[in-house]
């Protein structure tokens, strides 16, 4: 159940959306409609989240696997559906999604699970990640997991409904 209905599309504050849109028109989105209840927060958050999605130094497949693992663990249907779509564009396949759902013993799943459970990485997991990622990528990875965990809490708390036409693709 939606606790805070999205701001109607015709009332959207284009200036608050500028970090995401660059001034271009974007289609209606329930998450953007929710954020626009607080334009100053929307603008700040979208600046940060645009970095995590568009300028993230983590390889796109790895980033999307991390986001999807967060969405799965947090039971965030909206985040899951959005990032299955983005993940498929980044090259994820059904087997990758199944590995996220089942908690396969991948490095990304282990790292996300540790960050979500203890807010840190074990020395072993950190060392394995550091073999694959440089310093900037390590920072982007940890910030990605944390930010999408925060966003999942927002989406779940306010009961943001799926955007029309978007399937939850095996969320269950």
Q: Does 123 fall in a domain? A: yes
User: Domain holding 141: CATH number?
Assistant: 1.20.1290.10
Does one domain contain both 65 and 145?
Answer: yes
Looking at the structure, do residues 75 and 145 belong to the same domain, yes or no? yes
Rounded to an integer, what distance in angstroms lies between the CA atom of residue 132 and that of residue 21?
A: 32
Question: Tell me, what's the pLDDT at 1?
Answer: 84
- Rounded to whole angstroms, the Cα distance separating 170 from 29 reads 21
- 29-39 pLDDT, tens per residue? 999 999 999 99
Inside any domain, residue 161 = no
What is the rounded distance in angstroms from the CA atom of residue 69 to the CA atom of residue 160? 19
The answer on 116 and 137 residing in a single domain is: yes
Taking CB atoms within 8 Å and a gap of at least 24, the contacts of 13-19 are 13/39, 13/42, 15/39, 15/43, 16/40, 16/42, 16/43, 16/46, 17/42, 17/43, 17/46, 18/43, 19/43, 19/46, 19/47, 19/50
108 and 29: one domain? no
Q: Is residue 4 in a domain?
A: no
43 with 81, same domain? no
Q: Are residues 66 and 46 in the same domain?
A: no
- Same domain? For 143 and 83 the reply is yes
In a domain, 138, yes or no: yes
Do the Cβ atoms of 65 and 106 come closer than 8 Å?
A: yes
What is the rounded distance in angstroms from the CA atom of residue 53 to the CA atom of residue 51?
Answer: 6
Specify if 81 maps to a domain.
Answer: yes
What pLDDT is attached to residue 21? 87
For residue 129, give both structure tokens: 């990640």
Per-residue model confidence as pLDDT tens digits over 89-124: 999 999 999 999 999 999 999 999 999 999 999 999
**What average pLDDT does the structure give for the chain?**
95
pTM (2 d.p.): 0.95
- Let me know whether 16 and 90 are in one domain: no
> Which residues, in sequence order, are CB contacts of 156 under 8 Å at separation 6+?
74, 75, 76
- Is 165 domain-assigned? no
Considering the domain architecture, whether residues 37 and 86 belong to the same structural domain is answered as: no
Residues 84 and 149 in one domain: yes
- Structure token pair of residue 165: 């036409």
Do 79 and 141 share a domain, yes or no?
Answer: yes
Domain of 120 in residue numbering reads as 60-155
Same domain, 75 and 34: no
């Amino acid at each position: 159940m939606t606790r805070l209905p999205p701001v109607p599309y015709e009332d959207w504050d284009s200036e608050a959306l500028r970090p995401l849109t660059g001034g271009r028109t974007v289609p209606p989105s329930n998450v953007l409609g929710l954020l626009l209840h607080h334009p100053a927060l929307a603008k700040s958050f979208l600046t940060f989240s645009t970095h995590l999605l568009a300028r993230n130094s983590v390889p796109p497949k790895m980033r999307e696997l991390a986001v999807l693992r967060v969405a799965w663990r947090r039971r965030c249907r909206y985040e899951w559906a959005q990032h299955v779509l983005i993940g498929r564009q980044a090259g994820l396949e059904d087997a990758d999604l199944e590995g996220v759902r089942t908690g396969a013993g991948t490095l990304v799943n282990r790292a996300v699970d540790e960050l979500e459970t203890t807010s840190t990485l074990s020395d072993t997991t950190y060392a394995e990640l550091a073999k694959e990622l440089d310093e900037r990528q390590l920072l982007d990875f940890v910030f990605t997991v944390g930010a999408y965990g925060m966003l999942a809490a927002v989406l779940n708390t306010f009961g943001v409904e799926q955007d029309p036409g978007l399937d939850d693709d095996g969320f269950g």
